[in-house]
Structures are given as C-alpha cells and as structure tokens.
Amino acid sequence: MKNAALENCRKKFDMTAADMAAMVREFQSEMERGLEGRDSSLKMIPTFVDCATGKEEGSYIALDLGGTNFRVLGVRLDGRGGISVEHVGKYVIPTAVMRGTGEQLFNFIAGSIKEFMTKNRISASDDRKLGFTFSFPVKQTAVAKGVLITWTKDFSASGVVGNDVVGLLSAALAGYGLEKIEIAALLNDTVGTLVAKSYEDPGCDVGVIFGTGTNACYRERIDRIRKLPGLDGKGHMIVNIEWGNFSKAPANEYDRMLDQVSGNPGQQLMEKKISGMYLGELTRLLISDLIADKSLFAGEKVNFSRGQFESQHMSLIEADDSADLSAVKLFLGGIGIPDATLEDRAVLKEACRIVSDRAAKISAAALSAVFTWMDPKLDGKHTAAIDGSVYEKHPGFRERVLAALKELHGEKAGKLALVSAKDGSGVGAAVVAAVAASA
Ligand code: BGC
C-alpha cells in the first residue's frame, strides 16, 4: 500500500532522460525567442557588461539585496585576481519594509549604508564607487540603469515596478547625505557570481543561483543578441536569462496547487519547482496527500499546515543516514508528531527525495540547455560558477545534477565543471563596478 502510494508519487514527479532532452529543446527555443525580443518566458536580459580580466583594481562598496538579508561590503581588488572583503554589514529587512513602499525600502538601504560607513570609519566626503546587486528581474538599458519588471520571492514594495532602481537608490542616498557615492553598476546576483569567479578564473562562462530563488546568466556573443540594436556586434556581453520564469518544464497537480495560492500565479514556474522558497511547500502538498490516503502517520490528523515545512527541513531529513532515522524522529517530535513509526519516517524521507530529485533533473536540463546553446557539440570546456542555499546545503543536490548531466551528455559531461562560488553576489558587485569603471 505504502509502496504503491510512493510509486504513484514517483510517477508524478518522474523526469526521464527523454523528458530532460525535450526540456532542453524547449528551453533553447525560448532563449532564441527572448534574444530576438519575441514573446518568451525567458526574458534574456542584456546586462551591458562582460566578464572581468582580473586586472581591475581599487576599493568599492558592494550592496547585495535579494532576500530577507541585505548586505553591505567593503571590497578591495588587487589587480592580480585577488579579492579581499574588508568589511561586512548584515541587515535584516523587516517584512513590513519588503512589502511596504519603495521609499521605505530604499531609505532602509541608504540608512544601512550610512550606518555601515560610520561603523567602519569610511568617510562620506570622499568619492566612492558602488556596485548594487539587485536580484530581481530588471530590464537594463545601461550598466547602471534598469527598471524593475516584477518583484519575485515575496517582495512587493510599491512604486518600484516600472522605475529605475538606480534612480531610487541615488535619491535615498542623497537624503542620507551620501551624494559622493556613485552607483557605478547595477547587476543581478547571477552576474555577480559569474563575474566574481571570472576575476580569478577566466574560463568561467555561466553564473547560477540555486537558492531562495533560481536563475542563471551566461556570456553571449553580441551578434546573437538580436533585440539590441546599435551595437557593432563584436565581442561578448553577459545575458541574464531569468530562468526561474521558464514555463515549459513538466508540471503536475502539486505544482499547479502551489502556483495557484502563490503571490505570483503563473509566474516563476520553474523557480517554483526547484528553489528553496518553494521546495518545502511542494513536498508538504505531496505529504498531505500521503497522510490523507493513510500512507503516512496511519492517516492520523496531523497539523502540517502551509509554510510549516521548509526546504531546510528536507535537507535535514534527506541527510539523515542513521538506521533509525533519529534526526527525522527529532524533527517530527518538534512539530508535534512524536509517535511516527520508522516506516513513516522512511516514507517521509522518500517523499522529500522524490521532489528534490526532480529539482536536480530540471536544474541539469536548464544547465545543459545553456551550455549547448553556447557550444552545441560541447567541443570546449565550460564552467558554471554556482551559489545558493539549495546548491550549498541540500545533501546530494550537486551530485544529482552532475549525474543528470552525464545522463544527457555521456562522457562529454566531463567538460562541464560546476564550481562553488560562495558570496559571488556580494563581491561580484564590486568586480562589476570595477569592470564598468575600466570600460
Ligand atoms: C529573481 C532573479 C534572481 C534569482 C536568484 C529570482 O527570483 O527573479 O533575478 O537572480 O531569484 O536570486
């Protein structure tokens, strides 16, 4: 009975090699449409910046906004591929500010920068260049200019969508007496991740975040960005794919349920299948069905309500390799289910595994689409710099992505390297500001 129920779940979340290959084709056709400026779930946003040479130097202020934590960093580049973070300030954005007005949000940011500078004795009367990592879909028109297209990840501050975020931040900085700060670059966290890594490793050509949200960027030939008129067509530019919004990955009833009650129905459909903000809830929906059909907790009514199960709990459960699944028992005890049997605990672990397995396969298919878009036969070597909590903390996630890439590309998968790029979104802001300054 339990095995049959789990088998049924497996089928719903199944992603075969043929499904992955079909997704790669769909993904590339959306990439092409996006680059041409046609309707597409992939926005393919030109960023007006290329990778670093490693020779950029100087001191910069870096801002990193993309989740509930906002960070300010003082970063020094030595001009020889070396980066040192001299100061770090972390600020928690109150929910009321995330969902209040844009003015409140940008004042909170400017106020935090002021505090950071005072604390670290950085004078406000000297000229300073700042790089601003803003991890939301932004339509850029220059390296330091861009309009927010839509909020994601539960942000909803009013008066920001449709406006230039650099203008909003400059105005707030002026209000705090910080006019000497020049915002030299606005960038996505994927771009920061790629550019920061490229500062030390010039072979890196893709930047990815598998975290609260998900997205990727890559180095594109300028002549292939057809929607950008007026460029001479030579060289490369990084394109922010905004892949979280890809709408053609296989979906099942649980995906549809989660989407319907989300804050942005119909949007970020791939993100809702693979990122930290949603994986827990997706698994909770599956678990609730297993409880309802008595395959879990003997069908006893347990209070397993929305938001109570998070992706970090999946990580904890899947990491439990003890014979009696003691960590799972402890977790269940903590949420008021102390009497779960060992079989229950095993079913729960398997349910998590089913959801995270599919996430890894969708992630691999998206990565494969990007690599083979740049190099269809994988003649050369490619490196993706990757950051984010799912990639860093979910047990076996990286290995499962690599295994799926092998399934898709056989021996040639050996040419694809996935390297960890911790904190790229922070230091990357400084490197992109330096690249922009030296352009
Ligand atoms: C945003 C992207 C961002 C990603 C990872 C998504 O929700 O739309 O701009 O890169 O999250 O932070």
For the chain, which residues make up each domain, given as ranges? Answer: 1-45+202-421, 57-197
Which residue, judged by its Cα, is nearest atom 3 of ligand 1? 135
User: What is the band of 319 on the pLDDT scale with cuts at 50, 70, 90?
Assistant: very high
Our mutation pick for probing the ligand 1 site, out of 152, 165, 187, counting the most ligand atoms within 8 A of Cβ, is 152
Measured in angstroms, how far is the CA atom of residue 106 from the centroid of ligand 1? 19
pLDDT, position 17 = 96
**Per-residue pLDDT tens for 72-120?**
999 999 999 899 999 999 999 999 999 999 999 999 999 999 999 999 9
pLDDT average, residue stretch 56-61:
94
Mean pLDDT for the stretch of residues 158-176? 97
So what's the pLDDT on residue 305? 83
Average pLDDT, the chain: 94
How far does residue 290's CA lie from ligand 1's centre (Å)? 32
Per-residue pLDDT averaged across 226-243, rounded? 87
* Ligand 1 cavity residues, CB under 6 Å: 66, 135-137, 152-153, 188-190, 209, 211, 213-215, 242, 244, 271
**Residue 202 pLDDT exceeds 90:** no
From 136, 148, 212, give the residue whose CB has the most ligand 1 atoms within 8 Å, as the site to mutate. 136
Q: Is the pLDDT of residue 173 over 70?
A: yes
pLDDT at 139 over 90: yes
Higher pLDDT, 69 or 37: 37
Band of pLDDT at residue 1, cut at 50, 70 and 90: low
57-197 CATH choice from 1.20.1630.10, 2.40.100.10, 3.30.1490.190, 3.30.420.40:
3.30.420.40
Name the residue with higher pLDDT: 306 or 219: 219
Q: How many alpha carbons fall within 13 Å on the CB side of residue 421?
A: 35
How many angstroms does the Cα of residue 249 sit away from the middle of ligand 1? Answer: 17
Place of tokens 């001479």: 232
- Positions marked active-site: 153, 189
Question: What CATH number matches the domain at 1-45+202-421, 3.40.640.10, 3.20.20.70, 3.90.1170.20, 3.40.367.20?
Answer: 3.40.367.20
* 67 pLDDT higher than 80: no
Locate 2 and state its tokens.
């339990």
Pairing of strands 83-92, 69-78: antiparallel
Lowest mean pLDDT of 196-210, 230-244, 266-280, 343-357, name the range: 230-244
Q: What integer pLDDT is reported at residue 400 of this predicted model?
A: 98
Percent of the chain with pLDDT over 90: 87
Cite the DSSP H helix spans in 201-275. 253-260, 271-274
Sheet containing strand 69-78, strands side by side: 83-92, 69-78, 57-65, 128-134, 181-187
Which atom of ligand 1 is least distant from the CA of 268?
7
Q: For a pocket test of ligand 1, which of 45, 138, 193, 214 has the largest count of ligand atoms closer than 8 A to its C-beta?
A: 214
Q: What is the mean pLDDT of residues 377-404?
A: 97
pLDDT at 232 over 70: no
**pTM to 2 decimal places:** 0.95
Q: Is a pLDDT exceeding 90 seen at residue 300?
A: no
**Residue 49, C-beta contacts closer than 8 angstroms, at least 6 positions apart:** 143, 185, 187, 191, 195, 237, 238, 432, 435, 436, 439
Residue 358 tokens read as 């599919």
